Structure 1
C-alpha cells in the first residue's frame, strides 16, 4: 500500500502545475472554471491569465492587445513568413509550415523584442542605482554593444525610414502614462536611446516595432523571454495566414527566389578528374 501510495504521489507531482486543474467534468484555468471564461474574456486576456496567473484589467488588456496586433505580419520578405510559404509549397500541412516558420524566430529574426527589454532593464538598473538618464543610457548602450556587437535591437529599420507601427504604439503608451496606469519609465529609457543614437549618428534612428512593443511588454511587467514568446504568438497569425494563402495557389516546391533568377556562384571553374 505504501509503495502504491508513493508511486501515485510521484506521478501526481511529476507534472505538477499551477496553471490548470482538470477532473472529470471540470476544467479550471488558474482557478477559474473554463465555462466562466468562455465568452467573457478576450484571447489577449486569456494569454495574460495563462502567463501571469491573474486577469489583466481592461486597460492593461487593451495595451497588451495593441502590441499583439502590431506584430502579426510583415510580408513575404520576412524570413518566417517566407519559410511558411515555401514549406507549404513543399507539401507540409499547415501545422508543419507553422512549426518550420516559428522555429526561425530566434535571436536574429524574432529576438529583438526580448533583447530590447533586456537592454531597457539594464539601463533601468543603472538609473535605480543613481545614474542620470543620459549616463545610464550611454553606459547601457555601450555595454550592450561591447557584449553583442553594433546592432542595437529595437531601433532603425532596413525597410521603413519610420516604422509606421511604432508611433501609434507609443501614443497608446503615452495615453496610459497620462492616466497613471503605467509608470512610463521604459518609454523614457527608449526615447533616451533614440536621443543618444541621434547625437552619435547625426540622423534619426527611430524606434521600430520591436523597440515599441518592448516598451509595452516591459511597462506591463512581462519578463524579457516572454516578450519573445508573445511575439511568436502574434506572428503565428501572419504565418498561418500566408501558409493558407499559399495552399490555395497549388504551387509546388517554391524556393527562396524565382528559379528564373540566377544566383552567384563563387567557387572554382568547371574542372575534371584526371
Structure 2
C-alpha cells in the first residue's frame, strides 16, 4: 500500500501552501503587527490566545531569565564558540545545548514539585503537603531542591520577589489563581525552616510559579526558559564577535589546569 506523502507529517500548528501561511487557523498577515511575541508563543504552543494579563505575566517571566553573565555555562560556551570561527547560529546552538538538567532544567523540575504538592494538598493542608512533597523529593532526587538557593544571590535573588509580586497582582485581578504562588512560598519557607536559615527562591522557582499559574506543563518550563535565555546567548555571542578574539578557552592562557597524577 502506497502511503500518501501528505500524511507523513501532520500538524495543527501551521497550514502552509503556496501563497498561504496560517498559524492555528489565523493568516500570518492578520498576526503581523497585531500580535506580540509572547502572544505568538502562547498561540503556537497552546492553540488559543492569551488574555492581556496572561500575556503580560508570560512576558515578565521571559524577560527575567534572559541572561546571567559569562559565569553561566551557557553564556560562556556561546562566547567561546564565537571565538572559534563559527557563525552566530552555531554559537547560539552551543549555548542552548548547555541548558540541561542542572543548568536550565531546574524550572521544569521545580514545576513538577509544585504540581506534586498541589495534588497532595487536595487531601491535606498545604503545610503538610509541602513537608510530604519535599520529603518525597529528597528521597528520590537528593537534598538540593530545584528552584531554591543561588550561588551568588543570598538570601535574595532580585528577580524572584518582583516576579512573585506580579503573580500576586495578577491573582488579585483574577488573571491567575495564586495557588502556585502559595505553594512556591510554602516550599521556600519550609526549606528555610529545615536548614535554619533563609534561602532564596531563584529565577527557576519564580518562573515555575508563573508557568504553573498559566497552565503550562513542566517540560515547557524548560522550553520557555530556553527561549528566554537564547536572547542573552545571542547578545553575548554577538558582543564577543564584535570584540574579536581567537580560540578563547574557559581560562586565560596564564592559568593552567591543575595537574593531578592518575
What is the match of residue 260 of structure 2?
A: 266
What is the match of residue 197 of structure 2?
A: 203
What is the match of residue 20 of structure 2?
A: 26
Q: CA deviation at 1:84?
A: 0.1
Instruction: Please tell me whether the aligned partners of residues 13 and 44 of structure 2 are also in contact (alpha carbons under 8 angstroms).
Output: yes
2-side partners of 1:196 and 1:250: how far apart?
Answer: 48
Tell me the SS of whatever aligns to 2:121: helix
What is the match of residue 175 of structure 1?
A: 169
Tell me the SS of whatever aligns to 1:21: strand
Q: CA deviation at 1:181?
A: 1.2
Q: CA deviation at 1:92?
A: 1.1
Check if 1:158 corresponds to 2:151.
yes
What is the match of residue 62 of structure 2?
A: 68
TM-score by length of 2: 0.97
2-side partners of 1:223 and 1:144: how far apart?
Answer: 19
Q: CA deviation at 1:51?
A: 0.2
Moved over 2 A (4+): none
1-side partners of 2:193 and 2:68: how far apart?
Answer: 30
2-side partners of 1:12 and 1:263: how far apart?
Answer: 55
Check if 1:227 corresponds to 2:221.
yes
Q: CA deviation at 1:54?
A: 0.5
Give the 5 Å matches for 1:38-57: 38-57=32-51
Tell me the SS of whatever aligns to 1:253: coil
Q: CA deviation at 1:263?
A: 2.1
2-side partners of 1:28 and 1:208: how far apart?
Answer: 38
Tell me the SS of whatever aligns to 1:248: helix
Tell me the SS of whatever aligns to 2:258: coil
Check if 1:146 corresponds to 2:139.
yes
1-side partners of 2:80 and 2:62: how far apart?
Answer: 25
2-side partners of 1:87 and 1:142: how far apart?
Answer: 41
What is the match of residue 86 of structure 2?
A: 92
What whole-Å deviation, never above 9, does each CA across 1:179-233 have from its counterpart, x for those lacking one?
A: 1111111111111111111211111012111100000000000000001001000
1-side partners of 2:200 and 2:101: how far apart?
Answer: 21
Tell me the SS of whatever aligns to 2:15: strand
1-side partners of 2:84 and 2:21: how far apart?
Answer: 39
1-side partners of 2:18 and 2:71: how far apart?
Answer: 47
2-side partners of 1:150 and 1:70: how far apart?
Answer: 26
What whole-Å deviation, never above 9, does each CA across 1:94-116 have from its counterpart, x for those lacking one?
A: 00111111111010110000000
Q: Find the partner of 1:36 among 16, 25, 30.
A: 30
Q: CA deviation at 1:250?
A: 1.7
What is the match of residue 271 of structure 1?
A: none
TM-score by length of 1: 0.93
2-side partners of 1:13 and 1:205: how far apart?
Answer: 52
1-side partners of 2:193 and 2:153: how far apart?
Answer: 21
Q: How many residues align?
A: 261
2-side partners of 1:146 and 1:104: how far apart?
Answer: 27
Q: CA deviation at 1:262?
A: 2.7
Tell me the SS of whatever aligns to 2:127: helix
Larger Rg: 1
1-side partners of 2:171 and 2:239: how far apart?
Answer: 40
